[in-house]
Chains A and B, each alone.
Chain A
Amino acid sequence: MSHPDVVVVGAGIVGAACAEALSAAGLRVLVLDRGPLASGTTAAGEGNVLVSDKEPGPELALAQASRLHWPRLLDRLADEVGVDVEWEEKGGLVVAITPDAAEPLRRFAAGQRAAGVDACELTPAEALVLEPHLNPAVATAVHYLQDAQLNPVLAATTLLAVVRKRGGETIPGVMVSDVDGADRVTGVRTSQGRIPCHAVVNACGPWAGSFTAKARLNILPRRGLVLVTAPLPVVVRHKVYDADYVGAVAGDDADLRTSGVVESTRAGTVLIGSSRQRVGFTEQFEVPVLRALARKAVALFPVLASVPVMRAYGGFRPYAPDHLPVIGEDPRLPGLWHATGHEGAGIGLAAATGRLIAELLTGQRPHLDPTPFRGDRPGVPA
């Protein structure tokens, strides 16, 4: 593309959602990725669109806006390119296995209800009706009706297909080495030459921190591993996770945190997470982590003890020190926009993130307060 209005770097779900929203606003968009489309963090996620794991605050507000926007966005995609991205309003079930964990879960859910989240407290018997294979020792459970799931790779590639249909371009296998411009962005330098543009969106996920030496960010990778079972008959109907998961997400320690998180995909496999570790971009598999995941999944669903695990894979979540995404223009280099730092929630938060980037970039009134996500808040610029 000779003269794009905006270059989006990173063809994951966040870059794809930004590109879609920008092209819907009438801009000429070019999306570049150093690898194949949707092949990084997006391909390693379970496709969660959750409100259940967010405490009241700016991230919950973003999650709620995104949860509202996803179905509308998917309707638009279906109209324009006719692809089913396996959207499922399956709901989430957060489970306290031990009596000790019950009261904190109830308190957490009550706080969320006050912030507009549909969180229904269930008796153990009610929980077992929703999930017949659940551990009958369950102390209490909260049913989150708004939690949903989609296929993240299909969603990202479909968003990009819409961008192309509207005249935009998506080019995989192009490395962006830097951003040009002293006072403001004038273009990007790539492995295929210089591309002039006035705006560039840094949607490089866990690699966004070092996107340009002119405006580094404290975005770090947080490693996660997932076990995948053989395709099973319907065993797990909702997104089901242990109540200690929220604490593991919010934790700051670099050490390993694991929590039982279990859900099915449309293909019939059951995905078993979750682990969080700050080990840089280390790709090795640690057997003790896999063991911990399996043990915690079996604590939720005892039947999983005897099903085969088909494979395991890992990925990297983009992690900001205060656990909030970075969305907006970088005051150090006008024309440089960031959309990263969504940690493990990027699939869910992508719809509102793309919309917010398009609104801010085109000077429209944003649909929610972007201030908490500013890239120049304390601790984020590096």
Chain B
Amino acid sequence: MNVVVDGTPVPAEPGQTVAAALVAAGRTTWRETRGHGRPRGLFCGIGVCFDCLVVVNGVPDVRACQRLLADGDDVRTQRGAELPR
């Protein structure tokens, strides 16, 4: 699968979540908080806390722990709150 995170190709397998691929690639954070730009990554890992948000194919507020990767996904760090384009 071809998956790009912040412009860099990342190994990914079918059935893997965005968070799983990011953690496997050695990343622990992929979002910055709205107020102070602090780093965030996985917290609950089960879709409840909305802490692991990323932008996938231009759509913000995607829960990395819930979203299964698809071929060609373009994932990027979410900085603060963003509106969908």
Chain A residues packing against B (C-beta within 8 Å): 230-233, 235, 268, 303, 306-308, 310
The answer on a CB contact under 8 Å between A307 and B50 is: no
What total of A-B pairs shows CB separation below 8 Å? 25
Q: How far is the CB of A208 from chain B (nearest CB, A)?
A: 33
In the complex, A268→B84 CA distance in Å?
A: 15
Which residues of chain A come closer than 8 Å to B59, judged between CB atoms? Answer: 306
The answer on a CB contact under 8 Å between A232 and B50 is: no
Which residues of chain B come closer than 8 Å to A306, judged between CB atoms? Answer: 59, 84
Q: Would you mind naming 16 contact pairs between A and B with Cβ atoms under 8 Å apart?
A: A230-B50, A230-B53, A230-B61, A230-B81, A231-B34, A231-B81, A232-B83, A233-B80, A233-B82, A268-B34, A268-B81, A303-B84, A306-B84, A307-B61, A307-B83, A307-B84
Identify the 8 closest CB pairs spanning chains A and B, nearest first. Answer: A306-B84, A230-B61, A233-B81, A308-B61, A231-B81, A232-B81, A310-B50, A268-B81
Chain B residues packing against A (C-beta within 8 Å): 34, 50, 53, 59, 61-62, 80-84
Interface of A is mostly: loop
Which residues of chain A come closer than 8 Å to B50, judged between CB atoms? Answer: 230, 310
Residue of B nearest to A232 (CB): B81
Interface of B is mostly: loop
Residue of A nearest to B83 (CB): A233
Which residues of chain B come closer than 8 Å to A231, judged between CB atoms? Answer: 34, 81
Q: How far is the CB of B21 from chain A (nearest CB, A)?
A: 21
Residue of A nearest to B85 (CB): A306
Which residues of chain B come closer than 8 Å to A230, judged between CB atoms? Answer: 50, 53, 61, 81
Residue of B nearest to A310 (CB): B50
Which residues of chain B come closer than 8 Å to A232, judged between CB atoms? Answer: 81, 83
In the complex, A235→B81 CA distance in Å?
A: 11
Which residues of chain A come closer than 8 Å to B84, judged between CB atoms? Answer: 303, 306-307
Task: Tell me which of A268, A303, A307 has the highest count of chain B C-beta atoms within 10 A of its own C-beta.
Answer: A307
Task: Tell me which of B53, B81, B82 has the highest count of chain A C-beta atoms within 10 A of its own C-beta.
Answer: B81
Which residues of chain B come closer than 8 Å to A307, judged between CB atoms? Answer: 61, 83-84
Q: How far is the CB of A96 from chain B (nearest CB, A)?
A: 26
Q: How far is the CB of B85 from chain A (nearest CB, A)?
A: 9
The answer on a CB contact under 8 Å between B53 and A303 is: no
